[in-house]
Amino acid sequence: MLIDKSLQEIEKLLPFFKKTNVKVSAVNVGWHLDHSLKVVNNVCLAIKQSKVENYKSNFSFLKSYILLIGIIPRGKAKAPKNVISTADIFENDILEQLISARINLEEVKKMPAKSHFRHPHFGMLCLKKSLRFLAIHTNHHLKIAQDIIKN
């Protein structure tokens, strides 16, 4: 699954968590890794707490487009406050979140298909689309982190 490969890539980038490049991003590699893992863990928590009987499919052109092309344009969205770290980020914090993310994803993959979470811009995403979103979102931040490292 794509999100599993993304988590492997996060682990590979951990040694560079302090690296910055303001030409690419106002925040360092660690922030992008931390944010990505906060999103994975929060989405997994929401999916685990969801009630399948409450799931309602909804159409969103933006959701369909992003899930189809698999790319989130840079600088176009603002993350919710609960997935943005305001404190200092340490390598160990990222590692702990990575361990939690792997456990959470394994648990979530066993959930019913109508397990879901409500995305602030896309509306309700069923389990399959939630996992696709997590892969796309994580890859979006991994690309930024990789650009910080190579420039």
Q: Going residue by residue through the chain (151 aa), what tens digit of pLDDT does each one get? A: 589 999 999 999 999 999 999 999 999 999 999 999 999 999 999 999 999 999 999 999 999 999 999 999 888 777 777 788 878 899 999 999 999 999 999 999 999 999 999 999 899 999 999 999 999 999 999 999 999 999 7
Q: 87: buried, middle or exposed (CB in 10 Å: 19+, 13-18, 0-12)? A: exposed
| Cβ pair 105, 44 in contact under 8 A | yes
**What confidence score (pLDDT) does residue 143 get?**
97
Encoded tokens for 112: 């019913």
